[in-house]
């Protein structure tokens, strides 16, 4: 691969070692996310124009990959930002921090250098680990047979799928779903009026009991449901999967969470010091539940495993089958990683 460009911050010529100024941009928890419109969102601990480290905090910037030297500030936060995610259209951002504050930001009149906060919701004392916007029901897929075609309209196919949350008349609702470090799953519904917008939040336990979670990831499942994979960080404990569905009943939203089959790492090291902590869970494609990447680190190495989601038939016992009914097809499991 060839290096196309490098973007650096402005240097302070009075410092003895100017290269040390770059360390303050990425030290600590630094996040990065790329949208479908090739827009880059990233966080820094100081502002990009600060050469004296007087703006210590957590700052969010966006930039176009065609002109990355023009970085535009979205917001600043005193608490460390832990989640930074785009929506499917690449126009809205969800920003969550260490104290459970979740904000939804959007471009003002599609202008990259002007951002508006639609609202915020606070889950007190909850460290947000992962977030995902509601699916709008429009899915874009790459046509492998025509990937080398010159016309972009033929490279991609567009088709309808079930949205995550339906409103009156089947219209998709706007909002996002978040997962915290204590096993909480919460939703934030965004309601836009002609002049203002409001956020409504609801929370529920992901499992029957709240457990400590160190890493989590969310993807879109079938029929508008979410598939969530979580881990406590211990390589000897299973990686748990949940299917979460959100329904709007009257003016309230109801969260339903169902536990799915869990799995262990196959290559668990004999020596615990070599690889003792699961540090990352990531679905390969957010709109597809087929593959999940699991990464574990240790003092002397790391392990990366890719798990595939398969559906296995579950035959029904004869006692539960009707004699006069037609042959019943075997049931299939909702999710089983292997």
Per-residue HEC secondary structure of 190-259 comes to EEECCCCEEEEEEEEECCCCCCCCCEEEEEECHHHCEEEEEECCECCCCEEEEEEEEEEECCEEEEEEEE
Q: What local confidence, expressed as pLDDT, does residue 71 receive?
A: 92
How far is it, in rounded angstroms, from Cα 206 to Cα 275?
Answer: 27
How far is it, in rounded angstroms, from Cα 334 to Cα 332?
Answer: 6
**CA neighbours within 13 Å on the CB side: how many for 208?**
2
Q: What local confidence, expressed as pLDDT, does residue 328 receive?
A: 46
Residue 94, helix vs strand vs coil: strand
Q: What local confidence, expressed as pLDDT, does residue 48 receive?
A: 84
Of 206, 193, 201, nearest to 120 by C-alpha is 201
Residue 102 CB burial class (10 angstroms; 0-12, 13-18, ≥19)? buried
Q: What local confidence, expressed as pLDDT, does residue 21 receive?
A: 52
Token digits for 234? 């211990």
Residue 76 DSSP label: E
Q: What local confidence, expressed as pLDDT, does residue 267 receive?
A: 76
Regions of the chain with pLDDT less than 50: 328-336
Bridging pattern class, strands 101-108 and 138-142: unpaired
Residue 210 DSSP label: -
C-alpha distances out from residue 59 to 46, 55, 150, Å: 7, 9, 39
Q: Which segments within 46-125 are labelled E, that is strand?
A: 58-64, 67-77, 81-86, 92-97, 101-108, 111-122
Whether this prediction's pTM lies above 0.75 is answered by: yes
How far is C-alpha 149 from the chain's CA centre?
A: 31
Over the stretch 206-263, which tens digit does the pLDDT of each residue have? 988 899 999 999 999 888 899 999 999 988 899 999 999 999 888 888 999 999 889 9
CA dihedral 70, 76, 79, 84 (to 10 degrees): -50
CA dihedral 261, 262, 268, 274 (to 10 degrees): 160
Token digits for 254? 């109801």
How far is it, in rounded angstroms, from Cα 115 to Cα 105?
Answer: 7
Q: What local confidence, expressed as pLDDT, does residue 28 receive?
A: 60
Q: What local confidence, expressed as pLDDT, does residue 158 receive?
A: 79
Residue 131, beta-bridge partner list? 178
Q: What local confidence, expressed as pLDDT, does residue 14 receive?
A: 55
Token digits for 42? 């990233």
């Amino acid at each position: 691969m060839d290096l196309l460009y490098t973007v650096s911050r402005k240097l302070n010529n009075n410092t003895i070692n100017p290269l040390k100024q770059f360390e303050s941009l990425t030290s600590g928890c630094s996040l990065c996310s790329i949208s479908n419109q090739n827009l880059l969102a990233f966080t820094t601990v100081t502002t990009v124009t600060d050469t004296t480290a007087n703006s210590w905090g957590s700052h969010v910037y966006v930039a176009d990959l065609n002109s990355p030297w023009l970085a535009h500030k979205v917001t600043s936060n005193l608490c460390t930002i832990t989640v930074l995610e785009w929506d499917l259209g690449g126009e809205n951002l969800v920003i969550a921090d260490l104290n459970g504050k979740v904000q939804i930001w959007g471009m003002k009149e599609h202008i990259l250098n002007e951002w508006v906060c639609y609202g915020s919701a606070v889950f007190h004392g909850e460290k947000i680990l992962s977030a995902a916007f509601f699916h709008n029901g429009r899915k874009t897929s790459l046509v492998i047979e025509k990937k080398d075609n010159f016309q972009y309209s033929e490279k991609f196919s567009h088709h309808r799928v079930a949205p995550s949350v339906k409103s009156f008349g089947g219209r998709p609702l706007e909002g996002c779903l978040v997962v915290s470090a204590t096993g909480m799953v919460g939703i934030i519904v965004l309601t836009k009026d002609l002049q203002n917008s409001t956020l409504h939040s609801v929370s529920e336990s992901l499992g029957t009991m709240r457990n400590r979670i160190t890493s989590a990831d969310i993807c879109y499942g079938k029929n508008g449901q979410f598939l969530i994979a979580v881990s406590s960080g211990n390589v000897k404990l299973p990686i748990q999967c949940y299917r979460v569905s959100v329904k709007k009943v009257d003016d309230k939203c109801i969260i339903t969470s169902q536990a799915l089959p869990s799995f262990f790492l196959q290559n668990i090291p004999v020596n615990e010091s070599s690889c003792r902590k699961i540090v990352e869970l990531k679905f390969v494609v957010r709109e597809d539940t087929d593959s999940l990447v699991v990464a574990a680190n240790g003092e002397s190495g790391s392990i990366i495993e890719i798990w595939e989601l398969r559906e296995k038939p579950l035959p029904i016992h004869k006692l539960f089958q009707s004699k006069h009914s037609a042959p019943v097809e075997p049931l299939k499991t909702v999710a089983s990683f292997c």
